[in-house]
Amino acid sequence: MDDLGVLLVREGVVAPEAVLKALDTQRSARLPIGRIALEERILTMRQVFEILSAQAGTKRLFGQIAVDLGFITDAQVETLLEIQRMECASLGDLLVQAGALTIDQLLAAQQRLARQKAAEPGPQAAHAGP
């Protein structure tokens, strides 16, 4: 579950069912990576079909297969995933649209989450010497 969703449920601001429904909506609206790769002219239709064929019956991700086949790089997969994230409504926006919380509640929760993340020790803190 999304960090924001966990916070909202833990604080009792939103019911778990509302978060799960919003996440399902988010997943179903998400454009497939192959389609984005076609639109961005990173892959050809033939390459997409070859990747999908290799993916059939497996749990391997489209991007992993595309990299393994030498069609794209890991950096290109990250670019495609970023485009996918940008084109999809955020969990908070979906919860507001569904009436599960107000925009003010969303903004306050996002601020609390940002403060929590800022207070968390970073990976370098674990390696800090005397």
Residue 129 in this model has a pLDDT that exceeds 80: no
pLDDT at position 122, please?
67
Determine the distance from the C-alpha atom of residue 65 to the mean position of all C-alpha atoms in its chain, rounded to a whole number: 19
CA dihedral sign, ordered 79, 19, 110, 8:
negative
pTM for this model (two decimals): 0.66
Over residues 72-100, mean pLDDT: 94
Over residues 111-124, mean pLDDT: 85
Residue 126 in this model has a pLDDT that exceeds 60: no
- String of DSSP letters for 74-94: HHHHHHHHHHHHHTS--HHHH
Contacts 24+ apart (CB under 8 A), 101-107: 101/8, 101/13, 101/14, 105/13
Q: Tell me the pLDDT tens digit for each residue of 14-41.
A: 999 999 999 999 989 899 999 999 999 9
CA dihedral sign, ordered 60, 64, 66, 69:
negative
Residue 44: C-alpha distances to residues 49, 64, 89 (Å) = 9, 17, 27
pLDDT over 70 for what percent of the chain? 92
pLDDT at position 130, please?
47
Over residues 68-73, mean pLDDT: 98
Contact partners, residue 130, CB within 8 Å, separation at least 6: none
